[in-house]
Chains A and B, each alone.
Chain A
């Protein structure tokens, strides 16, 4: 079965650089969520999209922005990177926003900021 695809899997950037993370949800899933997991931490919700509109926002820095495109894939844009942005970034998708829906996670993008 198709899973959530994230690219790149690993990314190394310098401080103050920009990064773009991509997420391709499971086919026919119209809802995408982004989470950030710092070293030894639990995943923290960043932002979500439903039918290409932002549906919720968590603890996402102003330096980050995201969008969902017409084909439902999503991109997380990160600017002015800081050392503290080093983390594992997960994308998850679900078929709608109902409370009965499971969220299926991608393998994550490991971002290292030097």
Chain B
């Protein structure tokens, strides 16, 4: 079963706008991580938020975690064309830290 499911599946915005992507999951987790993938290339780690944290910032990224709703959001502020990519949330729910990925969101930032 899908652990992390992203919402929306695709997002198109203008450069300079903010992009918000949501992720829901089904079971208790240790942490949730967000990754970026450019066109079938490698997965770049963006940010990790632990289950006891509610919000985390890194540069233009802001991640929130609501364990009561089993959901997370990734906000990218002042988007740039270079932010165009697919974004995945991944949850770590077990003792061995394997990640369960969601389907991914395709973000297109128009110059």
Contacts and interface: CB of A to CB of B under 8 A. Distances in A.
B59 interface: no
Contacts of B99: 33, 35, 43, 45, 92, 103
B45 A97 contact: no
Contacts of A90: 42-43
Interface string B62-95: 0000000000000000000000000010101011
Interface residues on A, range: 20 to 34
A97 B97 CA distance: 6
B101 A107 contact: no
Contact of A88 (B40, B90, B97): B40
A31 B95 CA distance: 13
Contact of B96 (A55, A104, A108, A110): A55
Given A42-B88, A99-B31, A103-B33, A56 B45 contact: no
Contacts of B41: 107-108
21 contacts: A31-B97, A33-B99, A35-B101, A42-B101, A43-B101, A44-B101, A45-B99, A45-B100, A48-B98, A88-B40, A90-B43, A92-B43, A99-B51, A99-B92, A99-B97, A100-B48, A102-B33, A103-B45, A103-B99, A107-B41, A108-B42
Interface of A: 31, 33, 35, 41-45, 48, 50, 55-56, 58, 88, 90, 92, 94, 97-108, 110
